[in-house]
């Protein structure tokens, strides 16, 4: 009751000052109307403009002061019941942290996939017996292609050595009496190249002289991208479902606060308090719950990432990568705070709308 009584006294005092100032303006205008001196008329106009500016400044100052006091009072009420406030905030934090954690893990897998040569390679198998001049010409052509950033040539002898080392068949070539493996040119496209552009490039390379067969190794890359796309969409849907959960939690918490202050709400309504004025403390309560829940969610996400960083480094080491698990950026953290504020306002407004119909008459 102290908050609302202070605000009512401030509003009445502001109205009295406004009326007095308007009366003074009327007297000044009346005196100015009796004379036809242009300089006096200009002075009266300047006075009236200054008075209107003063009234507008006082109104804006009262508006800001009211919101500051209501927000501080709502935070004080939350701190007065720390256990219940902490439990509700932790529930909101868990709902926020799950989609954020899934999004961060998907982003790290995408980066790790790129480090594992996630871009598909183009393998060009040359004809047997092709001359070295044609091979050099093909390598020069591929290096001039803007879609290609790296060209590697594997001679038939290098291909045989790699096959023998991986398969463990050291005498197979000596038993055959000839080398059946052709020369291979491996092309690594730029990361911006689309699959449509790579398909057109494969058709073009197939028609070049000395080329026997061209293959685009993209099947596993497409599978990885499809899985990551599915996980991203799942994270978005999970965020929407858990966001609705946050709204319901805040709405139920605000409902309990409304029930505990039922008599206070009725008295304020009887003395002329509007629904917006009465709902303001509860809206700020929802905002505080959303903000505190978002901050706790950030703490949970960074704590879990710190625990998982060692395992992620072990997995990256198995693929000869030195990747370090990265957390959410400032953009994600900012979106999380804005989501907490938005969900807090929605939850509080929905609860106020349902219960004020019976407590506050139109």
pLDDT tens digits for 289-334?
Answer: 999 999 999 899 888 888 877 777 776 666 555 556 666 778 888 8
Bridge partners (DSSP) of residue 150 are 188
The answer to whether residues 268 and 281 touch, using CB atoms and an 8 Å cutoff, is no
* Residue position matching structure tokens 């060009």: 124
Average pLDDT score over the chain: 75
pLDDT above 80: residue 338: yes
pLDDT above 80: residue 204: yes
Bridge partners (DSSP) of residue 185 are 124, 153
The answer to whether residues 44 and 29 touch, using CB atoms and an 8 Å cutoff, is yes
Q: How many helices (H) and strands (E) does the chain have?
A: 11, 4
Mean pLDDT (whole number) for 9-34:
45
Share above pLDDT 70 across residues of the chain, in percent, rounded to a whole number: 69
Share above pLDDT 90 across residues of the chain, in percent, rounded to a whole number: 10
Q: 121: part of which helix (H) or strand (E)?
A: strand 121-126
Query: In the structure encoding, which two tokens stand for residue 267, read together?
Result: 């008295």
pLDDT above 80: residue 181: no
Question: What is the pLDDT at residue 175?
Answer: 59
Kindly indicate the confidence band of residue 7, based on its pLDDT and cuts at 50, 70 and 90: very low
Residues 129-178: tens digit of each pLDDT: 788 888 888 888 888 888 888 888 887 777 667 666 665 555 655 555 55
Residues 270-288: tens digit of each pLDDT: 887 788 888 888 999 999 9
Closest CA to 277 of 168, 329, 352: 352
Helix 82-115 × helix 219-260 angle, to 10°: 170
């Amino acid at each position: 009751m102290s908050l609302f009584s202070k605000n009512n006294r401030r509003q009445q005092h502001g109205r009295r000052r406004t009326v007095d100032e308007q009366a003074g303006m009327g007297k000044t205008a009346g005196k100015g109307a009796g004379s036809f001196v242009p300089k006096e008329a200009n002075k009266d106009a300047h006075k009236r403009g200054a008075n209107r500016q003063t009234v507008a400044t006082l109104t804006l100052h009262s508006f800001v002061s009211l919101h500051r006091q209501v927000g501080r009072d709502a935070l004080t009420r939350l701190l007065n019941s720390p256990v219940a406030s902490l439990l509700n905030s932790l529930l909101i934090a868990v709902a926020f942290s799950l989609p954020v954690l899934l999004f961060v893990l998907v982003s790290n897998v995408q980066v790790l996939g790129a480090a594992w040569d996630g871009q598909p390679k183009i393998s060009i198998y040359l004809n047997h017996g092709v001359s070295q001049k044609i091979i050099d010409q093909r390598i020069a052509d591929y290096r001039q292609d803007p879609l290609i950033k790296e060209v590697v040539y594997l001679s038939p002898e290098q291909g045989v050595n790699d096959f023998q080392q991986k398969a463990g068949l050291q005498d197979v070539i000596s038993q055959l009496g000839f080398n059946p493996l052709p020369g291979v040119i491996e092309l690594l496209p730029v990361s911006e190249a689309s699959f449509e552009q790579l398909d057109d490039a494969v058709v073009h390379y197939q028609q070049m002289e000395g080329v026997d067969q061209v293959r685009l190794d993209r099947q596993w890359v497409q599978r990885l991208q499809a899985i990551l796309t599915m996980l991203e969409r799942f994270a978005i849907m999970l965020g929407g479902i858990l966001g609705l959960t946050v709204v319901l939690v805040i709405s139920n918490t605000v409902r309990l606060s409304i029930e505990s202050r039922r008599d206070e709400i009725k008295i304020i309504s009887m003395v002329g308090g509007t629904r917006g004025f009465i709902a303001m403390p509860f809206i700020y309560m929802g905002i505080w719950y959303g903000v505190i829940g978002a901050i706790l969610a950030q703490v949970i996400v960074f704590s879990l990432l710190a625990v998982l960083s060692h395992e992620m480094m072990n997995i990256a080491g198995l693929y000869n990568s030195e990747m370090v698990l990265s957390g959410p950026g400032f953009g994600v953290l900012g979106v999380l705070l804005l989501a907490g504020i938005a969900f807090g306002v929605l939850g509080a407004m929905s609860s106020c709308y349902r219960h004020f119909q019976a407590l506050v008459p139109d």
